[in-house]
Amino acid sequence: MTDQRLGLIGGGNMARSLVGGLVKSGTAPESIIVSDPDDSIRQALAEDFSVQTCADNPSAAHVADILVLAVKPQVMQCAVEDIAENLLQRQPLVVSIAAGIPIASIESWAGSPLPLIRVMPNTPAVTGNGASGMYANHRVSKSQRAQAQKIMEAMGIAVWVDDESLIDTVTAVSGSGPAYFFYLMDAMVKAGQEGGLNPEISRQLTLQTALGAAQLALASDESPTELRRRVTSAGGTTQAAVEILDKKGCEKILIRAVHAARERSVELAKLLGDE
């Protein structure tokens, strides 16, 4: 970021990952201000990253050129109404990372049209390995898109979708995605233990395999289908496992699970956005 001031409304887990990533990647701490009602949260952010903090939202919104809304969805309406006057006066770029809150709801709570970006990050953001899907409304300029992307890249990769409804699919794939992999890891650790490995060894082998498979897939131009085919020799051990997965319809089950997450995201957006 250049001379732009970044404000964050809410200083919890996600805000902490974002601030940590930004400061680590060279953003000047004095250009960041975080508002949070919790004294201990503010103190920890100030101590760990030397950023400015404040207890009230308008103080952050009063100086920010880019404002990240990082409160829980349930308190978003209250937080936006709290800064509505600042938003009207300053017209900052607003970036919401709240799950399930449509852009139209934020604009209606703010009472004014705004350049607004909706982002769905995920928990690996904590280690800088997050994946965020982003959608911008038509008031966001090209340079604001680039600024927002750079900010979100402090937590991992950030990609754009061109329709807001696709944020529900992003939520289902990468937002909830870490849990699917944890589910698979859990089963593999258990299977290793059942096969005689001690729990820690089984855990290490499973987790490193997950990391290695992801890195290999990222480094390759081949699709996961092709990579899987290559490690599955006829009559071998991998084929024995894949045959069970295929016979039980695991691929279809996983696809159905992701669709269920998307449908729930649509339902939650209706509930949260209509407040």
Ligand X SMILES: NC(=O)c1ccc[n+]([C@@H]2O[C@H](COP(=O)([O-])OP(=O)(O)OC[C@H]3O[C@@H](n4cnc5c(N)ncnc54)[C@H](OP(=O)(O)O)[C@@H]3O)[C@@H](O)[C@H]2O)c1
CA neighbor of 167 nearest in space, from 220, 212, 101? 101
Q: How far is the CB of 178 from ligand X (least distance, A)?
A: 8
Give the pairing type, strands 32-35 and 52-54: parallel
Q: How far is the CB of 254 from ligand X (least distance, A)?
A: 21
On whether the CB atoms of residues 33 and 52 are closer than 8 A, the answer is yes
Among 57, 77, 105, 174, indicate the residue that binds ligand X (CB under 6 A).
57
14 in contact with ligand X (CB under 6 A): yes
Site string for ligand X, 114-133 (x = CB under 6 A): ------xxxx----------
Contact segment (CB under 6 A) with ligand X among 44-52, 95-103, 109-117, 230-238 equals 95-103
Contact segment (CB under 6 A) with ligand X among 30-38, 161-169, 232-240, 244-252 equals 30-38
Q: How far is the CB of 8 from ligand X (least distance, A)?
A: 9
Site string for ligand X, 138-177 (x = CB under 6 A): -------------------------------------x--
Among 5, 6, 7, 11, indicate the residue that binds ligand X (CB under 6 A).
11
Contact segment (CB under 6 A) with ligand X among 84-92, 94-102, 198-206, 216-224 equals 94-102
Phi, psi of 240 (to 5 degrees): -60, -40
Q: How far is the CB of 107 from ligand X (least distance, A)?
A: 17
**Site residues, ligand X (CB under 6 A):** 9-15, 35-38, 41, 57, 70-73, 75, 78-79, 97-99, 120-123, 175
